[in-house]
């Protein structure tokens, strides 16, 4: 969420930013919120004037009563009463206008960085760099769901009976591989100096609206019926919410955390082949990294964080590439974002396995997260990045490790987490 003062003073820049994100339908919101802000400031001024006048007249009443001038005192009392009525009306209107301003401000997208490429959607994202050579085996690699079944590691039929489409049972060595990647990701980030955390898996609505846009919320979140609670779509939501309303000491920053959680998403629109496998599912597990830092340090952390994901996947012998997300592919709160994609030797193309984003002070402004400095309290910057989201990471491992005889080689870094097991053989 932008500062209303910034919108007031940079209205044309805000409109141009909206155009770059191809959200022209939001352009009228800028003029509307500026008009409401003007009205709100006038109401505040009127309220301040009335309070000052009331205090002045109240002092006069005491003096008049002391001098025996009851009639004059009663006359002034009526004025004070009249002012009190007007003050109540002003305060009620101010509350309504302030609420409307907040609603509009939460719809106006954050200012994207000047380096972000302009494009309508993810088809116009720009490749930055490849890491590791994509390989093309001389034998056919089955669909990952079929690989899992040949290893007796996946049961979606039973999950369909218990929970419906988009859910799954992982079994045996495949389930163990899944947990091994999560455990390795945890230790990988701890060794990078991040503090490990397991957050709540449900959050209240004021935290949800603090960390994401309304459009994302409707498309992703599961609401708990009858309660002000939502299942998290990523642990970033809980981790940023942890600091809601807090004033941090500048000396405590940066705060770098890595968090584990199950994640729950509606994943509206997943059809066809995806429903057979594990690429788009309603429930998965994730290792995340979250950073709170001074605004001037945000881009240095951004560059550092996405390279950790690249390093992680390369340690699993999975070729990856990074993509710069274009303007139209950025969620409203994001300043800049890049995707990490893993190589699929079966499809002979890359697929998304993670995303790194810097959000400026947008989330901090919504949630009231500040740092105490010598110049006063300031909003912090927030960043998040996927270490892994499994089972997507497992798909990459299964395909890249698939052998001609149907077995799957386990990456060496995972052997200790698999009890020394180096290969998974068909059953």
Provide the strand spans (E) within 246-334: 247-249, 255-264, 283-293, 320-324
Report, as an integer, the average pLDDT of 247-254. Answer: 95
pLDDT digits (tens, 9 = 90+) for 172-191: 999 999 999 999 999 999 99
Q: Is there a common fold for 4-105 and 122-424?
A: no
Helix-strand-coil percent breakdown of the chain, rounded to 5?
Answer: 50, 20, 30
Kindly list the strands in the beta sheet with 376-379, ordered across the sheet, starting from the edge strand earlier in the chain.
Answer: 247-249, 370-373, 376-379
63 falls in which pLDDT band (50, 70, 90)?
A: low
Domain boundaries, the chain: 4-105, 122-424
pLDDT digits (tens, 9 = 90+) for 135-164: 999 999 999 999 999 999 999 999 999 998
Q: 365: exposed, middle or buried (C-beta count within 10 Å: 0-12, 13-18, 19+)?
A: buried
Mean per-residue pLDDT of the chain: 92
Report the CATH number of the 4-105 domain.
1.10.287.40
pLDDT digits (tens, 9 = 90+) for 259-290: 999 999 987 655 543 557 888 899 999 999 99
Q: Give the class (CATH, top level) of 122-424.
A: alpha beta
């Amino acid at each position: 969420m932008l500062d209303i003062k910034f919108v007031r003073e940079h209205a044309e820049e805000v409109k141009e930013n909206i155009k770059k994100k191809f959200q022209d339908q939001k352009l009228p919101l800028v003029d509307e919120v500026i008009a409401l802000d003007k009205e709100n400031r006038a109401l505040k001024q009127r309220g301040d004037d009335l309070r000052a006048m009331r205090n002045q007249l109240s002092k006069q009443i005491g003096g008049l009563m002391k001098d025996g001038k009851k009639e004059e005192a009663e006359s002034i009392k009526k004025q004070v009463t009249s002012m009190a009525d007007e003050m109540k009306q002003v305060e009620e209107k101010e509350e309504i206008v302030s609420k409307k301003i907040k609603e509009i401000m939460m719809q106006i997208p954050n200012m994207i960085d000047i380096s972000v490429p302009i494009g309508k959607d993810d088809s116009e994202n720009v490749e930055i760099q490849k890491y590791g050579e994509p390989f093309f085996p001389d034998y056919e690699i089955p669909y990952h769901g079929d690989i899992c079944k040949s290893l007796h590691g996946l049961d979606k039929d039973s999950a369909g009976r218990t929970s419906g489409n988009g859910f799954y049972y992982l079994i045996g060595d495949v389930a163990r591989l899944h947990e091994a990647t999560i455990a390795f990701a945890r230790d990988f980030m701890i060794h990078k100096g991040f503090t490990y955390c397991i957050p709540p898996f449900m959050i209240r609505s004021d935290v949800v609206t603090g960390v994401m846009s309304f459009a994302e919320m409707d498309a992703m979140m599961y609401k708990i019926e009858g309660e002000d609670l939502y299942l998290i779509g990523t642990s970033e939501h809980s981790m940023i919410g942890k600091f809601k309303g807090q004033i941090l000491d500048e000396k405590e920053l940066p705060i770098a955390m890595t968090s584990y959680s199950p994640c729950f998403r509606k994943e509206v629109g997943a059809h066809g082949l995806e429903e057979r496998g594990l690429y788009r599912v309603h429930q998965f597990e994730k290792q995340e990294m979250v950073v709170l830092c001074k605004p001037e340090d945000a881009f240095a952390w951004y560059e550092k964080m996405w390279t950790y994901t690249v390093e992680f996947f390369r340690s699993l012998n999975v070729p990856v590439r990074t993509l710069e997300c274009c303007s139209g592919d950025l969620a409203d709160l994001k300043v800049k974002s890049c995707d990490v994609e893993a190589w699929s030797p079966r499809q002979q193309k890359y697929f998304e396995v993670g995303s790194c984003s810097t959000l400026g002070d947008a989330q901090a402004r919504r949630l009231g997260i500040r740092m105490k400095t010598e110049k006063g309290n300031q909003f912090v910057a927030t960043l998040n990045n996927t270490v892994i989201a499994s089972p997507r990471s497992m798909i990459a491992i299964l395909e890249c490790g698939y052998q001609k005889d149907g077995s799957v080689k386990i990456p060496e870094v995972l052997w200790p987490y698999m009890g020394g097991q180096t290969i998974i053989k068909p059953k």
